[in-house]
Structure 1
């Protein structure tokens, strides 16, 4: 009896509509003043085992600058052997609210003909922001995951990428980026992807918890009227980020990777009534030349007589019908029933889009 009751309850639960999945506000967007900043710099990696650059002018100039900062002046016209050094570009990401003295990770990449950075050490290098100011200083030993070896006969073996390395906590923050999150009259919150329905639901969720706080500026931005002060405002921001919101259904899209043949179809894709025919015409031409010999003691000459056979057949010719409002599962089942390859799927989807039967945005990357 209990087992039958459980089966009935399970059947009723299966028939009930499934509610939309709620997401936190922090997963849908971020506050305008809370963002990271990109840093970059140009430096020198030394200590390489003969795998560095080979006497490049820009590397020589950089080495002169480094040695000059250390009090060593190279004589004019002297170019040091640079196989043990490499010119590199350093990139890093400065987190929001990073303070002087904190450490961040850096990525080091060669910009010349250096073969590997394994075993190298980065000399102290300033990292600049978009405004040209120095925000961090980088230095340290590189951790390189790649490996490159070569033989005397010219054979080479490369594993991963030996010309890119990483230094964990390799840079020290020297200056903080100013933020106005605590004293501006209006704090703005930006949606990751523009959507008016999702923006409306986020506004309603915030106003339900804090009446009159949020208003929509556009499809991406909410303006939040908050009291000033870092302590009060930080608490409100934390509470808002944890609010649950059911985002609008994503736009109907079909994304096609033309290089790999990968096709991704969103759940909102629908098809109008259509019929799809898929097949391949195979034409075969066989040449069977025949040698013709003249009769004995005749006046004729040996010759070649052409014999051509042409055949044509239609392979895998199918016609599949799709009903009105077909869902994603029905679209996939219909295309699989055709036995279509990725290239064929691209042609079929493009044809449905041109015919007006595919209600979706077709994105080819």
Structure 2
């Protein structure tokens, strides 16, 4: 039988209404700018290079020329005549094939967005290019360069004991504080142009939208307009134009000119801007689905249009005019979630079925929200 009962139809309609209708009250949420954006230039940088791991219990491999060259180079640096002879005598380097306690690895270290200074120590990841396992091994040496292949400068040296964190993946490990910086990596947070200094706020991917960018620019303009004179300035050809000290470049970037009063204190200005509290009213409606965990997260005013969905023994009917009212705050600390759980319990609808129904509504073009499937 396709329809179990009219009662089931009503419950299903309420259920999907709760899932895709607006669950939030009409209150305006607030947050600090630093929670939703970063300063351009403050990005992570990756350092990487080839390294040699030794001390393996027969799980290494040295039967390729690259690994043998690496072993020979390390022996040469340690003053061994075997290493020096291997570079001149091909037969000598072939002797290194018998080594089973060494492996060639790629070493990677991430420099935080705030940069790093010479002498600072960072964790580094070690990934084997050959061999069966690097468990119990020692990273002897690795010279790390920056992400630009044209930049030959060595920014860090890495060595130390390897900790294999996942026994199911014995070819990947971590060296705690094994990467020591040899040069400064600076991440400037402002740029100079036409005699002025500028910072650029970059909205996080999940917060980027034209609405949010315009809202941030408007808020900064309102708070700092007094620092920029009468709002007019002369161009090079003598014409006047509006002084656009802050502008939303696109849905992600907001450019702000540092006021003259903060010219010698750009850090203070950046700090004050990032500490600003802005409203998140009328945020973009989104429905985020994680199929693996069966989680559905709804934000903003997510609604559905006029649609009928038939799925297994469930019929979902919804119209544009349908609205659902959340329970009052006095009834529950989290009324929307509680109401949704109660509907699920009454219908015995699985998470997978709920997700499938929402996706079908989206395919039909009746989900008035951005659907994100993880």
**So what's the TM-score if we normalise by structure 2?**
0.69
Contact 2:287 2:299 in 1 (8 A): no
Aligned-partner Cα distance in 2 for 1:332–1:93? 42
Give yes or no for the alignment of 1:246 onto 2:264: no
1:97 paired residue number: 115
**Distance across 2 between alignment mates of 1:347 and 1:179:** 45
Aligned partners of 1:223 and 1:348: how far apart in 2?
A: 42
1:107 correspondence with 2:121 = no
Q: 1:162 to 1:62 in 2, by over 3 A?
A: same
Q: Which runs of 4+ in 1 moved over 6 A?
A: 328-336
Query: Could you report, residue by residue, the CA deviation over 1:308-340 in whole angstroms, capped at 9, with x for unpaired residues?
Result: xxxxxxxxx343433534568788877776544
Mapped pair 1:38 → 2:25: no
Which residue matches 1:66? 74
Closer/same/farther in 2, CA of residues 218 and 54 from structure 1, 3 Å limit: same
> Please, which runs of 5 or more residues in structure 2 have no aligned partner?
1-24, 229-244, 325-335
Once the 2 structures are TM-superposed, how far is the Cα of residue 182 of structure 1 from its aligned partner? 5.7
Give the drift of 1:234: 0.7
- The structure that is strand-richer by fraction is 1
Q: 1:350 to 1:169 in 2, by over 3 A?
A: closer
Find the aligned partners of 1:27 and 1:338 in 2 and give their Cα distance.
Answer: 38
Q: Is the 8 A contact 2:132 2:170 kept in 1?
A: no
Match of 2:201 among 189, 194, 205: 189
Alignment-derived partner of residue 353 in structure 2: 344
Q: Is the 8 A contact 1:104 1:171 kept in 2?
A: yes
- The answer on 1:88 being equivalent to 2:105 is yes
Question: What is the aligned partner in structure 2 of residue 297 from structure 1?
Answer: none
Judged with a 3 Å threshold, the aligned counterparts in structure 2 of structure 1 residues 91 and 48 are, in CA distance, closer, same or farther, namely same
- Whether 2:164 is the aligned partner of 1:144: answer yes
Map of 1:220 onto structure 2: 252
TM-score of the two chains, using structure 1 as the length reference: 0.71
**TM-fit CA distance, 1:141:** 1.6
Return the offset for 1:118: 2.5
Aligned partners of 2:201 and 2:314: how far apart in 1?
52
Give the 3 Å change call, closer, same or farther, for CA 23–160 of structure 1 in structure 2.
farther
Q: 2:55·2:102 contact (CA, 8 Å) conserved in 1?
A: yes
* Equivalence for 1:127: 144
Q: Do the aligned residues in 2 keep the contact of 1:197 with 1:247 (CA within 8 Å)?
A: no
**1:82-109 CA distances to partner (integer Å, 9 max, x unpaired)?**
3211111111111233221212111111
Among 180, 183, 194, the alignment partner of 1:175 is: 183
Matched residues, number:
298
How far the C-alpha of 1:237 sits from its partner, in A, is: 0.9
Residue deviations 1:271-319, cap 9 Å, x none? Answer: 124333333xxxxxxxxxxxxxxxxxxxxxxxxxxxxxxxxxxxxx343
Q: CA contact under 8 A between 1:278 and 1:338: conserved in structure 2?
A: no
Question: Is contact 1:318–1:338 with CA below 8 Å preserved after alignment?
Answer: no
- Using CA pairs below 8 Å that are at least 6 residues apart, which structure has the higher relative contact order? 2
Q: Is the 8 Å Cα contact of residues 43 and 125 (structure 1) preserved in structure 2?
A: yes
Give the one of 36, 57, 60 matched to 1:52: 60
CA shift, 1:343, in A, is 4.5
CA shift at 1:163, angstroms? 2.2
Computing the radius of gyration over CA atoms, which structure comes out larger, 1 or 2?
A: 1
- Say whether 1:236 aligns with 2:269: yes
Cα distance in 1 between the residues matched to 2:290 and 2:116:
39
Q: CA offset at residue 216 of structure 1?
A: 2.0
- SS of residue paired to 1:266: strand
- The 2-side partners of 1:164 and 1:243 are apart by 42
Quickly say closer, same or farther: Cα 1:186–1:318, change in 2 above 3 A: closer
Asked whether the equivalents of residues 296 and 355 of structure 2 are also in contact (C-alpha less than 8 Å), the reply is no
1:242 Cα deviation from its structure 2 partner: 1.0
The 1:53–1:262 alpha-carbon spacing in structure 2 relative to 1, beyond 3 Å, is: farther
The alpha carbon displacement at 1:46 in A equals: 0.8
